[in-house]
Chain A
Amino acid sequence: MLKILKAGFYTTVQDSGRFHFRNKGVPVSGVMDEMTVFKVNSLLENEVSAAVLEITMTGPTLMFEEETYMALGGAEMSATLNNLPIQNYKVYQIEVGDILSFGRLDKGFRSYLGVREGFTSKQILGSRSFYKPITKENRLRDNDVVPFIDSKLFQPKISEIKVDSFLDDNKLEVSKGPEFHLLSDRHLEEIFSKSFTIAHENNRMAYQIKETISSHEMSMLTSATLPGTVQLTPAGKLIVLMKDGQTTGGYPRVLQLTDKAICILAQKRGGDKVNFKLV
């Protein structure tokens, strides 16, 4: 078990997501930054779908109650193991009673904790990802425990990797969304020539863009959306749907973020700047 001594701002269990229920309105959920989690799980020689902790903005304080191996990745949150600083993308051997805690957020917004073979909390509809009301809670609370299987004899093939960090990237590559063709020249000019600010309304469901662009009167019938879909409201607000985003929507889907752009955006917080680039 991993004991949550202090839960931090918003800490959840996430895996690769909940599939085959989008036709019933269930969001796919899963880790926001797939590229980082792929690296963390690779270091631990885990399945791609192994569940990790997604740690947002302010990290938790955690106590390991079993032996295992762990690795961190993503945001730089001044992590310490038994009060000694540790690095991202490096495998650490864990003894019973070890304490992992986090300090100042230096870069990025979401950090990921992986353990050997992943967390083994209960699967609901084929996934361990937190999403209320599919799961009882939307996030971990103080004194919760998250199960994992103890691991003593793991010898990592690679114990440390250097990664090309994208935490400073602010270019979001996009393809055309289904309603892209309805945009006016003025809209195109506004979307692709400016830099935008991430609004404080940002979470696992959606990231809103602070600046508005020209209003419009395009109409469509409610249709399916995806993580990374950029909707344009009639008032000219851009909303980027993320992993817990609704599965259908009635606002024009003007752009679609690439998988990498979703990861880049997942590491942004209110006030950060981004720009869109059509590929």
Chain B
Amino acid sequence: MNPPKINIKSFGVHSVLIEWPHEVSEHILETILRFQTYIRFNILSDKDWEMVPSYNSLLLINRKKTIDFEKISKDINVGYSQLKESEKPDRYLWRLPVSYDLEFGLDLDEVAKKLNKTIPEIIAMHTGTTYTVYGIGFLPGFMYLGGLLKDLEVPRKATPRLKVVKGAVGIAGKQAGIYPQESPGGWNIIGNCSVPIFDASKENPCFVNVGDKIEFYQISRAEYNLHKIEAEVGIYKPEKIKLNA
């Protein structure tokens, strides 16, 4: 497949934005991740550079310098033309446990009624698909997940909640996600994930990277409680499978 076209934009004096066609696509995301790895090793290896990938874009930020936009654009274009299909970044599938206990799934009943389904059907649809992490933002560790089944699409709540608890698993429109910490939020809450997605005390505070895949599986309330204790003492490890190995 030909690499999709890129558009390079200056964004303030410290950043360069690379944009791909305006579409949510696995091929584009894969290309962005490959190019990010290429840039890190071949163009911007300096530690003052940071990169933020998301859906169809990659932002390159220098924390200190005013950048030379012309020069970097040229390097990016040359680098992109040399990008090879074979340079595949490591990507992982994470299997995350969710309790759909009604105490957590505050909107399960309402979602089921709106979609004319039973609660077990909702859970089966939510756990029966693989999601792609298209971005991480809004809050530390908040994943923008693509891949929600069409039959599970339900509008966000008319009135947002002032407080959604940490670990809350939500759906809204075409989007699915997990609230990594307590925050206000307008998504429909259907369960709670027992694995902490973000932990500032760890050197790598968030094990998920943009481009990874997520699957949810149902656990009982008792298993949920056990995971919580394991996570607290630091012995719980989320299940991970290497992709494109």
Contact B51 A177 (CB under 8 A): no
Contact A25 B54 (CB under 8 A): no
The reply on A224 being an interface residue by CB < 8 A is yes
Number of A-B residue pairs having CB atoms within 8 Å of each other in the complex: 112
Find chain B residues with CB under 8 A from A20 CB. Answer: 50
The reply on B206 being an interface residue by CB < 8 A is yes
The reply on B52 being an interface residue by CB < 8 A is yes
Partner of A24 from the list B10, B57, B136, B201 (CB cut-off 8 Å) is B136
Contact B22 A221 (CB under 8 A): yes
Closest to A253 in B: B11
Contact B142 A25 (CB under 8 A): yes
Closest to A24 in B: B206
Cβ of A143 to closest chain B Cβ, rounded Å:
24
Which of B13-21, B77-85, B237-245 contacts the other chain?
B13-21
Partner of A125 from the list B19, B55, B200 (CB cut-off 8 Å) is B200
The reply on B115 being an interface residue by CB < 8 A is no
Contact A23 B209 (CB under 8 A): yes
The reply on A246 being an interface residue by CB < 8 A is yes
Cβ of B21 to closest chain A Cβ, rounded Å:
10
Interface size of B in residues (CB-CB distance below 8 Å)? 42
Contact A25 B139 (CB under 8 A): yes
Given the known inter-chain contacts A223-B57, A246-B139, A249-B137, please indicate yes or no for A22 contacting B52, CB distance below 8 A: yes
Cβ of A147 to closest chain B Cβ, rounded Å:
19
Find chain A residues with CB under 8 A from B59 CB. Answer: 223-224, 226
The reply on A256 being an interface residue by CB < 8 A is yes
Given the known inter-chain contacts A26-B205, A178-B19, please indicate yes or no for A223 contacting B13, CB distance below 8 A: no
Find chain A residues with CB under 8 A from B53 CB. Answer: 23
Find chain B residues with CB under 8 A from A226 CB. Answer: 11-12, 14-15, 59, 61
Contact A175 B137 (CB under 8 A): no
Chain A interface main SS type: loop
Find chain B residues with CB under 8 A from A133 CB. Answer: 140, 181-182, 198, 200
Find chain B residues with CB under 8 A from A9 CB. Answer: none
The reply on B144 being an interface residue by CB < 8 A is yes
Given the known inter-chain contacts A19-B50, A223-B59, please indicate yes or no for A24 contacting B13, CB distance below 8 A: no
Find chain B residues with CB under 8 A from A114 CB. Answer: none
Partner of B11 from the list A23, A135, A178, A259 (CB cut-off 8 Å) is A178
Find chain A residues with CB under 8 A from B206 CB. Answer: 24-25
Partner of A175 from the list B12, B181, B210 (CB cut-off 8 Å) is B12
* Alpha-carbon distance A125/B144, docked complex (angstroms): 23
Find chain A residues with CB under 8 A from B14 CB. Answer: 226
Given the known inter-chain contacts A23-B136, A25-B137, please indicate yes or no for A259 contacting B13, CB distance below 8 A: yes
Contact A26 B140 (CB under 8 A): yes
Interface string of A187-224 (1 = CB under 8 A from B): 00000000000000000000000000000000011111
Cβ of A160 to closest chain B Cβ, rounded Å:
28
Closest 10 A/B residue pairs (Cβ): A248-B137, A224-B59, A224-B52, A221-B55, A24-B206, A256-B12, A223-B57, A25-B140, A25-B136, A26-B140
Question: What are 18 sample pairs from A and B whose C-beta atoms fall under 8 A apart?
Answer: A17-B63, A19-B63, A25-B141, A25-B142, A25-B198, A27-B140, A134-B200, A135-B200, A178-B17, A221-B55, A221-B56, A224-B54, A224-B137, A226-B14, A228-B12, A248-B136, A249-B138, A257-B12
Chain B contact residues, CB within 8 Å of chain A: 9-15, 17, 19, 22, 24, 50-57, 59, 61, 63, 134-142, 144, 180-182, 198, 200-201, 205-206, 209-210
